[in-house]
């Protein structure tokens, strides 16, 4: 029996030693996990900071784009307003449109030209200048008693100027324009 007791005491001692080793390893393992997590958090701060910088740059870019869109819109609005006044560097040419007649000079010099077109008729009209360099016209027809300005860079040659009816000039509302240098 003494032998059994000695073995039990030895087993208890071994168990206690094993428990102490396990507790020490558990503490050591917990410490390693805590250090690893801390290093991971510190390492992750780098990408987080980079992501923050990228987000701030994106926000700044969006703000800049927004300002440019507003500025561009203001320019377009100003161009629409300017469509009723000639550019200061353009040669002014007065044009009068009636329901059956176009009244304007038929000989002009080359360069930037501002056709100041007044509709004195009872119907809406447009004004078209067509030449070898293309067709120039108002985007929206002139209403009766309305005046608009059409800017055209005239080159040497012959142009047709007219007020279209259903896209085509009608009798009396077309004239030939000769441009010389």
pLDDT tens figures, 105-115: 999 999 999 99
Q: What is the mean pLDDT of residues 133-141?
A: 92
Position 81 pLDDT exceeds 50: no
Lowest model confidence (mean pLDDT) among 68-77, 82-91, 100-109, 141-150:
68-77
Q: Which residues does 159 contact at the CB level (< 8 Å), separation at least 6?
A: 129, 130, 131, 176, 177, 178, 179
Per-residue model confidence (pLDDT) at position 53 = 72
Torsion of CA 78, 98, 93, 108, to 10 degrees: 140
Nearest to 116 by CA among 72, 83, 89, 158: 83
Per-residue model confidence (pLDDT) at position 146 = 95
Higher-pLDDT residue of 29 and 133 is 133
Position 30 pLDDT exceeds 80: no
Query: Which residues on neighbouring strands pair with residue 178, listed in sequence order?
Result: 107, 158
Per-residue model confidence (pLDDT) at position 173 = 82
Torsion of CA 114, 118, 119, 125, to 10 degrees: 10
Position 13 pLDDT exceeds 60: no
φ and ψ at residue 84, rounded to 5 degrees: -105, 0
Q: Which residues does 112 contact at the CB level (< 8 Å), separation at least 6?
A: 87, 89, 90, 91, 151, 152, 153, 154
Per-residue model confidence (pLDDT) at position 166 = 63
Q: Would strands 157-165 and 128-131 be described as parallel, antiparallel, or unpaired?
A: antiparallel
Lowest model confidence (mean pLDDT) among 15-19, 29-33, 100-104, 142-146:
15-19
User: How many C-beta neighbours within 10 Å does residue 106 have?
Assistant: 10
Lowest model confidence (mean pLDDT) among 61-75, 84-98, 142-156:
61-75
CA distances from residue 81 to 2, 76, 77, 96 in whole angstroms, order as listed: 115, 9, 6, 21
pTM over 0.75: no
- Evaluate whether 102 touches 172 at the Cβ level (below 8 Å): yes
Nearest to 149 by CA among 88, 73, 71: 88
The distance from CA 83 to its chain's CA centroid, rounded to whole angstroms, is 23
Position 46 pLDDT exceeds 70: no
Average pLDDT of the residues of the chain: 77
Per-residue model confidence (pLDDT) at position 78 = 42
Q: What is the mean pLDDT of residues 62-82?
A: 55
φ and ψ at residue 129, rounded to 5 degrees: -120, 115
Question: What number of residues does the chain have?
Answer: 181
Per-residue model confidence (pLDDT) at position 79 = 47
């Amino acid at each position: 029996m003494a032998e059994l007791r000695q073995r039990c005491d030895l087993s208890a001692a071994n168990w206690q030693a094993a428990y102490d080793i396990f507790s020490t390893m558990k503490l050591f393992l917990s410490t390693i996990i805590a250090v690893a997590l801390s290093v991971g958090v510190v390492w992750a701060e780098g990408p987080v900071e980079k992501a923050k910088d990228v987000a701030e740059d994106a926000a700044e870019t969006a703000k800049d784009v927004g300002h440019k869109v507003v500025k561009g819109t203001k320019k377009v609005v100003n161009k629409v307003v300017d469509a009723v006044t000639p550019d200061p560097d353009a040669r002014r040419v007065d044009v009068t449109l009636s329901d059956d007649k176009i009244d304007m000079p038929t000989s002009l010099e080359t360069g930037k030209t501002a056709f100041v077109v007044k509709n004195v008729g009872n119907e809406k009209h447009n004004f078209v200048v067509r030449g070898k360099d293309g067709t120039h016209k108002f985007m929206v027809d002139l209403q009766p008693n309305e005046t608009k300005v059409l800017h055209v860079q005239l080159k040497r040659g012959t142009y047709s100027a007219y007020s279209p009816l259903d896209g085509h000039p009608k009798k009396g509302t077309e004239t030939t324009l000769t441009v010389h240098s």
